[in-house]
Chains A and B, each alone.
Chain A
Amino acid sequence: MASLTFRPWTRDAPEAGSLKDVLSRVAADRGHFRELTEAALQEEIAGEGALESSDSDEDDENDDREDSQASAKPATRDDLFKARAEMLQHIDTANNEVMIALDFVSLLLTKDAPEKGKTTISAEIKKQIPLGSLGYDMWQNMPVNKAREAQDALLATNVRMETLQRSADSLLVAADRLESNVRKETQYWDQILSITANGWNVCKLPGQQHRLGVTYGFNESAPEFSRRGIAALNASPDGGILLERGIGSKPKAMRVVLRQGGLAVGRSRVPTVADESETMLEARIRHARNSLFDEELYHELLRESRGQASLGVSTTGDGIVFRSTSAESPQSTEVLLELVGLYDIQDDLDVKLEQDTLAQVIALVARTLLSQAHREKVKKRSGVPPPLSERRDDRPTLPILRPVMAFLLQHTAMKLVNQYTSSIGSLLAAAHIDHEDQLAAFDLSKAAEIHGVEDLAGILMQRWTSESVLSFYGTKITIRLETTLAQSFGTLYTLIGTNGRVSKFTECEELRTSCDAAIASELALYLQRKAGQAWKCNVREALITKHDSKDGKEDRIWVTVDSQAGLLALNSPTKKISWGSQSSSSNTFHDAWLELLG
């Protein structure tokens, strides 16, 4: 506080006025310490000698004040009011501050001098803060401890560095994660693109957002199979793609096994498990598709076999079995269609059997027929539907097994007929009879017209026919084979003899005996024609007789042909000349005849 020294009045003894009195005097004289500075007072003292100067000073001061007041004098009434309001505001704030300071000091006082404090403290504070709760202590200023300050500074630096480090670390972690995310996404989309590039159809999964799936099924399958034809592509944690669990892991395939007499003589090929040209994912998808197709094929075959039980098809625990002839014989081949898991049969894949090709052909034909059935379904679906009526159509069985069976039956029948023809041929050759034969073969005249799979399937659906011709001595015997599974099981054999007589058989044995008889009859007829008028021929029994007028007896000569035993014989009641497997005479047929006659 500026120390004020007043020259004491000479008259009165100067009261060393208490500060309070001094202050009150100053306040009364000069206003409340307003515009009171040491410099100004020094000036006053310096210029106070003369009254004029003090008057002038006062005047100056007054002028100054007036000037300052003039400068501060507001221009308009509004400004005046504004200034007034501002001033009041300042005063209020100042008042507030001072009251707060007073409260603070009073509160402090209430601890040590409660009465004094209580008088000056305001009511609000008294309500809110319990009295005597603020105390003070005087502390010595602590000496400057350089070491501790250095330590503090070091600690502060360390803490700051730590926090900065932590934020740097978290930023790095975020960057790493971002990078790994980007890498995973790139990998994921690369794989999806490669799958699409290989022809698989990637689509949105119905009912699941944000997930893609690959379709490998067929639209025209039965509903339970076409529903299974889609698999979700899930992202694995390292960005690769995983196929939905379980798809393609246990692939199945249909296999055809040909058995003769209980032993396997032919096996169709199943697709190999490993293929180096594709990734694991695509291999799984491919396995899934093949497996689904074969499973559907097996399912349809089962359905068909249930309806065809009358045709000799049966289902065992392994699969579907049917025989190639209706008779049981060691020759007949048994065909077994089974569904095998690819991983279960790896061991016996390397053994090559003789009829592998036939088995493979059967498998291929079955698959082609299933595709054809799908195509038929599309065509049927696109045609104008009949009006709705009460009739409910069950799902028709697809004709897959039947064409295969028809083909096999025809094949076996042809083999049998050809066997027969060649045995007869050898018998005739042994007897030096000129003959010609034409073996039965598949009638492939329409093969030139095949333009696509549909034509091929069309041919498979039709009935099979073939023909075998045996001719000797100017006569011709024709055997025709016809297989169609529309009416009945088995091949229809037709024997056409020289005189146009047609006879039909269903069993090869019957055909054999009939044909033997026909050949014998023909030979007898030939002999009769050779022999002349005297001899008569009983065609049915292959017997020629001559009525001998001398003895009254009949000369009889008959021919027997037995292809089963492999025997061709010319017999008379007394003698027998035979050719064939057991004993063969070296005569020709003609010589033998002359021998018997004579």
Chain B
Amino acid sequence: MHELALYSQIPTTRHTQVLQILSGVTASQPTETLEQTLIYQQLRLPDSGTSKKAQNRVVTAQPLRLTYHKLVRDLKEPSGDKTPWTFRSEDVPSPGVQNLIMRSVIETFITEADLERFRQGQVWYKYINQFLTHPSHRFIHGNIIIRISRLLSVPEGTGALEPLDAPVPALEDCKPVDPSGSFMFEAVVRVEDGGNSKLVELATKELLAFKKTVEGVVDLRVPERLSLDSRVKVKGT
């Protein structure tokens, strides 16, 4: 599926005010979430099998470059620590779109078998880092998912243990990634099929209308496209 997104930044002093205004706009209360995201670097492209047929096939379905993948889970769910992980792979945002970020995203529940690939010692993935989002709130406005969160980086040495099984780092030890403590504001619309121009247009219209609605409260803008590039940079040469 494709995601269309706009971003903004909220200083700490305005956090409560923005939460209240959005409650009024969406006519509902925010849902609190605490997301733990693990970032992995792909070391090898997944093979498609070594049959003769596969070799003759044009390899357009394969990703051409290694990308960073994420494993996300929400710790505020009732199952707490045992919440299953979600696999998330984001592509580079599409170059042609000027007024918002549109990128292809794969987000699926991951089975235990596939989860094995992420463990330490495997050749598929290498663990890079992880971060938490706290405090994090979520609003839904029609088809738009609005997330207001502050990113916390985990203390040194958390990566030593197997991150999939390790206990969640204590919140007191985590420091915000942004020292001023400002919040990240994200408004996302998801489209099932990015090629369907009618749907994409509908989604764009909805997102831009929302931008206009909150104009003055929150300044939604389009960040630099390449800063969301998820491809692994190959060093050397």
Contacts and interface: CB of A to CB of B under 8 A. Distances in A.
Interface of A: 219, 378, 381-390
Nearest to B4: A388
A68 B160 CA distance: 120
A378 B192 CA distance: 24
Given A219-B27, A382-B28, A382-B31, A388 B140 contact: no
A388 B28 contact: no
Interface string B183-216: 0000001111100100100110000000000000
A385 B145 contact: yes
B196 A390 contact: yes
Contacts of B190: 385-388
Contact of A389 (B27, B138, B142, B192): B192
- Pairs A-B, 10 closest by C-beta atoms: A389-B192, A387-B190, A387-B192, A387-B1, A388-B191, A382-B28, A388-B199, A385-B143, A382-B140, A388-B203
B220 to A, nearest CB: 19
Contacts of A387: 1, 190-192
A388 B31 contact: no
Contacts of B140: 381-385
Nearest to A384: B145
Given A381-B140, A382-B28, A384-B140, A390 B145 contact: no
Contact of A390 (B1, B28, B143, B199): B199
Contact of A378 (B28, B31, B143, B196): B28
Nearest to A378: B28
A473 to B, nearest CB: 53
Interface residues of B, number: 19
B145 to A, nearest CB: 6
B143 A389 contact: no
B145 A388 contact: no
Interface string B45-78: 0000000000000000000000000000000000
B76 to A, nearest CB: 13
Interface in B101-154: 138, 140, 142-143, 145
B199 A389 contact: yes
A421 B143 CA distance: 57
Given A381-B140, A385-B142, 15 more contacts: A219-B27, A382-B29, A384-B145, A385-B140, A385-B143, A385-B145, A385-B190, A387-B1, A387-B191, A388-B189, A388-B190, A388-B192, A388-B202, A389-B192, A390-B196
Nearest to B107: A387
Nearest to B145: A384
26 contacts: A219-B27, A378-B28, A381-B28, A381-B140, A382-B28, A382-B29, A382-B31, A382-B140, A383-B140, A384-B138, A384-B140, A384-B145, A385-B140, A385-B143, A385-B145, A386-B192, A387-B190, A387-B191, A388-B189, A388-B190, A388-B191, A388-B192, A388-B202, A388-B203, A389-B191, A389-B199
B90 to A, nearest CB: 14
A382 B191 CA distance: 18
Nearest to B189: A388
A219 B189 CA distance: 24
Contacts of A385: 140, 142-143, 145, 190
A383 B143 CA distance: 10
B26 to A, nearest CB: 8
A207 B202 CA distance: 27
B69 to A, nearest CB: 19
Interface string B18-55: 00000000011101000000000000000000000000
A381 B190 CA distance: 16
Contacts of A383: 140
Given A378-B28, A381-B28, A382-B28, A389 B145 contact: no
Interface string B139-177: 010110100000000000000000000000000000000
A112 B14 CA distance: 98
A243 to B, nearest CB: 25
Contacts of B1: 387
Contacts of B28: 378, 381-382
Contacts of A386: 190, 192
B193 to A, nearest CB: 7
B163 to A, nearest CB: 25
A382 B196 CA distance: 26
Contact of B193 (A219, A381, A384, A389): A389
Contacts of B199: 388-390
Contacts of B27: 219
Nearest to B29: A382
A383 B27 CA distance: 13
Nearest to B190: A387
B154 to A, nearest CB: 25
Nearest to A380: B140
A500 to B, nearest CB: 41
B107 to A, nearest CB: 9
Contacts of A382: 28-29, 31, 140
Contacts of B189: 388
A350 B190 CA distance: 59
Nearest to B202: A388
Nearest to A383: B140
B226 to A, nearest CB: 25
A378 B199 CA distance: 25
Contacts of B191: 387-389
A387 B196 CA distance: 13
B4 to A, nearest CB: 10
Contacts of B192: 386-390
A381 to B, nearest CB: 6
B79 to A, nearest CB: 17
The residue in A382, A386, A387, A389 that gathers the most chain B C-beta atoms within 10 A of its C-beta is A387
B194 to A, nearest CB: 10
Contacts of A390: 192, 196, 199
A441 to B, nearest CB: 35
Contacts of B29: 382
Nearest to B105: A387
B35 to A, nearest CB: 13
Contacts of A384: 138, 140, 145
A384 B140 CA distance: 7
A390 B138 CA distance: 25
A358 to B, nearest CB: 37
Nearest to B206: A388
B192 to A, nearest CB: 4
